[in-house]
């Protein structure tokens, strides 16, 4: 006799509920609990000429240089004195297995593009805060181009499309503050549009994601990075379970085991 599917399906639903969609990575309710911001971070709906990401929610996350903190930078790109204002947003700690597929989307939005080009990045960090992988970068140059970032280290994520410039129109976007709707150099600012990124986790462990942006050398012509549609093996990014929550998950697993055993007995 087959195992009854309705009780099994119900138990699976209970397990998924205990895993906690409310704790999954979604920006519709604002920045998720456990995410840490330095500088200027937030969430936004479709805003100005920045649309929603395909596969994301009704709001996306963002970091901006508009009200950024001094000294924020990507290690290896410039000295601390070159970073006048920047922002980073780090996710909660999450567990991944070797071979898991990490996916996300991002959109680089800048009013700069001159010789003092701002830049942005996405990193995968180990649980101790050290870099596991530089996933993606963005930076314009007077000659054009934006992703991968001009003059920056190569990112490890596979991008779709693999190369992106900015559209050349002054971006209208609230996170840019007073610089919204302006352009330092015509035809060399704007947005890249949403870019898909995929990365295969190399080793099992605990990680965080970091999104960052820097206003390089000066404080003028602000820049931001929008991001959304973050999943791990197709599931929205969820935090490492708290001890009490882990107990609930174990109870759910035991419930599934009991249902399977009952099904086998009826089949005898």
Given this model, what pLDDT does residue 251 score?
56
**Whether the Cβ atoms of residue 87 and residue 72 lie closer than 8 Å to each other:** yes
Upper half-sphere CA count for residue 227 (Cβ side, 13 Å): 30
The pTM of the full predicted model, rounded to 2 decimals, is 0.82
The helix (run of H) or strand (run of E) holding residue 199 is strand 195-200
Residue 208 to residues 103, 130, 143, 161, Cα–Cα distance (Å): 13, 10, 34, 25
SS3 254: helix
Given this model, what pLDDT does residue 262 score?
63
Given this model, what pLDDT does residue 256 score?
52
The pLDDT tens digits along the chain (268 residues) read: 444 434 443 344 334 444 444 333 579 999 999 999 999 999 999 999 999 999 999 999 999 999 999 889 898 886 666 778 999 999 999 999 999 999 999 999 999 877 778 999 999 999 999 999 999 999 987 666 799 998 889 999 999 999 999 988 999 999 999 999 999 887 788 999 999 999 999 999 999 999 999 998 888 899 999 999 999 999 998 777 655 444 544 555 566 556 656 665 656 5
């Amino acid at each position: 006799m087959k195992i009854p599917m309705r009780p099994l399906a119900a138990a699976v639903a209970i397990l998924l509920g205990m895993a906690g969609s409310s704790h999954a990575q979604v920006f519709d309710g604002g920045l998720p609990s456990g995410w840490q911001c330095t500088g200027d971070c937030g969430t936004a709906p479709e805003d100005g000429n920045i649309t929603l990401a395909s596969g994301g929610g009704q709001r996306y996350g963002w970091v901006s240089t508009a009200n950024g903190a001094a000294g924020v930078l990507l290690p290896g790109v410039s000295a601390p004195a070159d970073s006048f204002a920047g922002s980073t947003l780090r996710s909660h700690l999450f567990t991944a297995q070797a071979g898991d597929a990490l996916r996300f989307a991002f959109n680089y939005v800048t009013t700069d593009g001159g010789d003092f080009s701002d830049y942005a990045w996405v990193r995968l960090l180990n649980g101790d805060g050290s870099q596991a992988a530089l996933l993606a970068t963005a930076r314009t140059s007077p000659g054009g181009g934006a992703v991968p970032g001009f003059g920056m280290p190569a990112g490890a994520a596979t991008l779709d499309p693999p190369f992106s410039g900015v559209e050349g129109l002054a971006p209208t976007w609230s996170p840019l503050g007073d610089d919204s709707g302006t352009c330092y150099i015509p035809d060399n600012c704007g947005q890249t549009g949403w870019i898909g990124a995929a990365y295969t986790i190399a080793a099992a462990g605990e990680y965080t994601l970091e999104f960052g942006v820097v206003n390089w050398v000066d404080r003028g012509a602000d820049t931001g990075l929008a991001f959304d549609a973050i999943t791990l093996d197709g599931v929205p990014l969820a935090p490492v379970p708290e001890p009490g929550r882990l107990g609930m998950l174990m109870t759910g697993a035991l419930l599934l085991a009991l249902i399977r055993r009952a099904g086998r007995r009826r089949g005898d």
